[in-house]
Amino acid sequence: MASTFKLVFAVPLLLQLLDFCWGNKVGVDYGMDADNLPSPEKVAQLVRNHNIQYLRIYNYRPEVLRAFSNTGIELMVGVPNADLSQFQSQPYVDSWLRTSILPYREATKITHITVGVEVTNSPDNAANCVVRAMRNVVSALKSANLQGKIKVSTPLSFGVLSKSYPPSEGAFNSGYEYVLRPLLDFLEENQSPFMVNLYPFYAIGDSSLDAILFKSPSSIFVDQNTGLSYKNIFDAQLDAVFYAIANLNFRTTRNTFDAQPDTVHFTLADTDLIINDIIAAETGWPTRGSRRPHASTHNAKTYNYSASLDSVDDYANIDNAQTYNTNLISHVMGGSGTPARPGANLDVYIFSLFNENLKQGPETERNFGLFYPDMTSVYNLVFPGKGTGRSWCVASRQASNSALQNALDWACGPGKADCSALQPDQQCFEPNNLVSHASFAFNNYYQKNGLTDQACRFGGTGIVVYNDPSYGNCIYNVKSRDPNGRTWCVATSQAYRSNLQNALDWACGPGKADCSEIQPNQRCFQPDTLLAHASFAFNNYYQKNGATDASCSFRGNAIKVDRDPSYGNCIYH
C-alpha cells in the first residue's frame, strides 16, 4: 500500500464476550521436546508454586490434562501438525473430542484449542489442512454445547508478514493469502483470536538492544503514516500484525471509503472483517547459543544474519532473558496496550517452561527455558497475580522425608530460623506434618536472610513461591500485622519498569527520601533489584510525610501494606 494513505484505526466499543472473559494475561508455553523433563504432576506443582496461571501445551496427552485438573490453571491445548490430515474428517474429530477433551473438561480448565503450529512454515500439507480442521473442531464443540467456551485458533509465525515497517504498512506475504483469507474469515465468524509468535530477539541487527528489551527511554521511531510513536519492537511487531489484517481487507473494501486527496480514514468497524484480539502465542529470549540465520521483516528490506555465528551469542544470556521477560510482563500488565491500540488487552505466552534438549536447530532453540529439567530456576521471574510482588520459601513436596527432616533440623538450629510457632499448641503447629513445618521454618530463615536464592536452598529441598502460604492464624512473615495499625508503602510489582525507575529517581532526589541504605555495601542494598530498592525509598518518603495516601501514590507505582516489610538488617522505619 502506498505510504500516502494515513490509516486511522478505532477499536470497536463492544466485544462479544459470550462466556469467555478477556483480560491481560501472561502465560507460559509448556513444550515437551526433551527426554529429561519431570512428570506432569511435578510440573503442575511447579507451575502453581510460581503463580503461573495460564499455560499452553502443544499436545493433548491425557497424563498432562489429568495433572492440571483442579488446579484452576487455564490451558491452551494443542493439535500437532502431524494430526491435521486426520482432522479433515468430521467423524474423527467428533470422536477425538469425546475421548481426548471431554473426559477432562469438568476438572481441567481448557480455554483454547490451537490447531497446528506455524503451518505456513511446515514442509507438509499443514497449511492446506488447517482451516478445515479448525472448522471440524468448532462443529464438534457445537455438538457438545461448548462453542464459545473453548476458542479455536492456530498460531502463525511472524514470517507470514512480508513487511512490518512502518507498522501501518504491515502486509502479509501474498504467497500465504490462500490460507490467510479463509483463516481470517473463520476467526471473525467464531470470535476467535489471531495468534502469532513474536520474537524481537531476532530483530537485533536492525534495532537497538534497548529497544528490544523495553529499555528505550524515548521513541525509537515515529510511523509517518499515523504519527504514532514507538518505544519498543514488541509493540511495533504486534501493531504490524494488527495493521496487516486490516490492510488485507482494506484492499477489497477501499471503494467504500470517502477518500480525500492524500488521506483515507477508516476504522476497523468499516471493514467486513473484525479481528480485535491478537495473542502472542510465543515470545521469549534464549539464555545461551547463537541465533539461526534469519531474515528480518522489521524494515522493507531484509537483513540476513551470518550463518557462521559464534557458538555463544553475545545477546543470548541470562541477564538479557530476565530483562526481556520481566519488562514484557510489566508492559503487558501495565494496561497501556500498543500505540495503535491504546488500552487494549494484551495476552502473551512466554516460551518456554523448560530448556528442551531434543529441539532441533541451533543451540538457542534448546535454551529458552525458565526452568532447568530439575525444576530449578534458570533466573527469577515474578508472574503477575495477587499480592505485592513478595516471595516466600517453602518445602518441596518432591523432597524425601529424610532430606526434609535434615533441612528442618538445620533451619531450626541455634541462631537460624525462629521455629517457636511450630511448637505444640502454637499457631503453626497444625497441620502437624513434615512439609508444613519445614515450609514455615524455611520461610522464616529466607525472610531473615535477604530473600536470596541461596537462602532458599536447604540442600535442594526449598523452593521460592510468589503466593503467600499463610493460613488461618499462621502468618508466613517474619513479622505479622502491626498491632498498632502501622502501614508501610512499597512498590507494586505490576508497575512498568521504566515508571518504577522514574519514581525511584524522584523519591531519592534532594530533600525527599533518605536512600543511603540502598547504596552498595549498605544494609538494604541486597536484594539488588529495582522492586526492592524502590520499596525502601517509597516507604522512607511515606513515613517522613505523614503516612498518608497521597505520600504513597508515586503515580500509581506504590501500594500500602499492613505488614512490616523489613528483613534481616534492613529495617523499614
Residue 192 and residue 254 in one domain? yes
Residue 397 and residue 457 in one domain? yes
Name which residue leads in pLDDT, 297 or 187. 187
As a whole number of Å, the end-to-end CA separation of the chain is 61
Q: What is the pLDDT of residue 274?
A: 52
Residue 345 and residue 402 in one domain? no
81 inside domain? yes
Bridge-based pairing of strands 341-342 and 25-30 is unpaired
Number of domains within the chain: 3
Residue 407 and residue 525 in one domain? no
| 191: helix, strand or coil | coil
Residue 354 and residue 495 in one domain? no
267 inside domain? yes
Range in 30-34, 288-292, 397-401, 555-559 with the lowest mean pLDDT = 288-292
Q: What is the pLDDT of residue 256?
A: 31
230's grid cell: 514507538
Range in 74-88, 151-165, 286-300 with the lowest mean pLDDT = 286-300
14's grid cell: 463492544
Q: What is the pLDDT of residue 50?
A: 84
b/e code 169-204 from CB counts within 10 Å (16+ = b): bbbbeeebeebbbebbebbbebbbbbbbbbbbbbbb
CA 164 vs CA 184, 189, 213, 239, 396: distances in Å: 19, 26, 19, 9, 46
State how far the Cα of 390 lies from the Cα of 388, in Å rounded to an integer: 5
| % the chain with pLDDT above 90 | 44
Residue 346 and residue 432 in one domain? no
Residue 94 and residue 238 in one domain? yes
- Which CATH number is 168's domain given? 3.20.20.80
* Cis status of the peptide bond prior to 293, with omega within 30 of 0: no
Rounded to 10 degrees, what is the CA torsion of 202, 206, 211, 212? 0
pLDDT digits (tens, 9 = 90+) for 130-169: 999 999 999 999 999 998 889 999 999 999 999 999 999 9
378 inside domain? no
13 inside domain? no
pLDDT digits (tens, 9 = 90+) for 515-524: 999 998 888 8
Listed residue (441, 460, 438) closest to 449, CA to CA = 441
Range in 211-220, 268-277, 384-393, 462-471 with the lowest mean pLDDT = 268-277
Q: Hunting for cell 492440571 — which residue is that?
A: 68
Catalytic site positions: 118, 282
* Cβ neighbours, 10 Å, residue 376: 11
b/e code 485-503 from CB counts within 10 Å (16+ = b): eebbbbbbbbbbbbbbbbb
15's grid cell: 466485544
Residue 71 and residue 166 in one domain? yes
Residue 181 and residue 249 in one domain? yes
State how far the Cα of 206 lies from the Cα of 204, in Å rounded to an integer: 6
Q: What is the pLDDT of residue 110?
A: 93
Domain final residue, candidates 415, 433, 465: 465
CB 248 within 8 A of CB 180: yes
38 inside domain? yes
385 inside domain? no
150 inside domain? yes
Q: Which domain holds residue 444?
A: 392-465
Domain final residue, candidates 465, 496, 516: 465
CB 268 within 8 A of CB 194: no
Give the number of residues written for the chain.
573
476 inside domain? no
Q: In the structure, what pLDDT confidence band is assigned to residue 282 with cuts at 50, 70 and 90? A: very high
Residue 436 and residue 505 in one domain? no
Q: In the structure, what pLDDT confidence band is assigned to residue 78 with cuts at 50, 70 and 90? A: very high
Q: In the structure, what pLDDT confidence band is assigned to residue 48 with cuts at 50, 70 and 90? A: confident
Name which residue leads in pLDDT, 519 or 250. 519
Q: Select, from the ranges 77-86, 386-395, 428-437, the one with the highest average predicted confidence (pLDDT).
A: 77-86
Residue 298 and residue 185 in one domain? yes
Bridge-based pairing of strands 392-395 and 462-465 is antiparallel
Domain final residue, candidates 433, 465, 497: 465
Average pLDDT of the chain? 81
Residue 181 and residue 225 in one domain? yes
CB 269 within 8 A of CB 10: yes
* Cβ neighbours, 10 Å, residue 228: 21
* Cβ neighbours, 10 Å, residue 256: 11
Q: What is the pLDDT of residue 296?
A: 37
Listed residue (229, 193, 232) closest to 211, CA to CA = 232
Q: What is the pLDDT of residue 255?
A: 34
Angle, helix 530-544 to helix 497-507, in steps of 10 degrees = 40
